[in-house]
Amino acid sequence: MTDWPVPLRGVTESIITTEGPNGRWNAAALGLHAGDVVTAETWGHTRTRRNFERTGVGYVHFTRDARLFVEAALGVHETDESALPSADARVRVDVERREAGKRDGTPWASWALHPTAVAVGEERVPLTNRGFAAVVEATVAASRLGVEAYDDDVLRRRLDHATAVARRCGGPAEHDAIDRVHEHVEEAQSDG
């Protein structure tokens, strides 16, 4: 059994790539829940869930690329390769569904992630950038808008707060990323 390249605690945000039936790799945000076995949840009938069910494999990426995180969290981001160049580390995982159900009309599934191979591309001195953290929080709020299990007014307040923090504390990448969050929200509203 392979270990994770870093100690996980709480919920660690990552990007997972899973292979679709078209042979392309779908990148999506995925929160890793620390524990004796690392788990993750999928909500809705997402590409990630369908690919997990079909292949049982994914690649977890640890990255600080705010723009990529937004696209993976809120858009459809497909690549020809399973690896994301901006990732500091990548972990191949075998996934198994632990349980599934519905919450307020939204289907969900819990998955165990078992690392089978690790590649560390770059080790960095850790830093905490509130702007990047705010972009992550904004994507969480934005991704839940319109989901019956959540209150849209509360989510919009969270999104507004996260936007203010990203603009105040982030650099150019975080500013671009938070703008992209709002573009995704506007696109979703015009489609819905």
The conformation of residue 24, written as its DSSP 8-state character, comes to P
- Cα separation, 44 vs 42, whole angstroms: 7
Query: Would you place residue 108 in the very low, low, confident or very high pLDDT band (cuts 50, 70, 90)?
Result: very high
Provide the pLDDT for residue 149. Answer: 82
- Cα separation, 183 vs 74, whole angstroms: 10
With b for 16 or more beta-carbon neighbours within 10 A and e for fewer, the 53-71 pattern comes to beeebbbbbbbebbbbbbb
Query: Would you place residue 125 in the very low, low, confident or very high pLDDT band (cuts 50, 70, 90)?
Result: low
The predicted-structure confidence for 127-165, as pLDDT tens digits, reads as follows 778 999 999 999 999 999 988 888 999 999 999 999 999
Identity of the residue numbered 37: V
Domains (range + CATH), the chain: 11-120 (2.30.110.10), 130-191 (1.20.58)
Query: Would you place residue 21 in the very low, low, confident or very high pLDDT band (cuts 50, 70, 90)?
Result: very high
The predicted-structure confidence for 37-94, as pLDDT tens digits, reads as follows 999 999 988 999 999 999 999 999 999 899 999 999 999 999 999 999 989 999 999 9
Query: Would you place residue 191 in the very low, low, confident or very high pLDDT band (cuts 50, 70, 90)?
Result: confident
What predicted TM-score, i.e. pTM, was given to this entire model?
Answer: 0.85
The H-or-E segment that residue 71 falls in is helix 66-74
Q: Is residue 48 within 8 Å of 41, Cβ to Cβ?
A: no
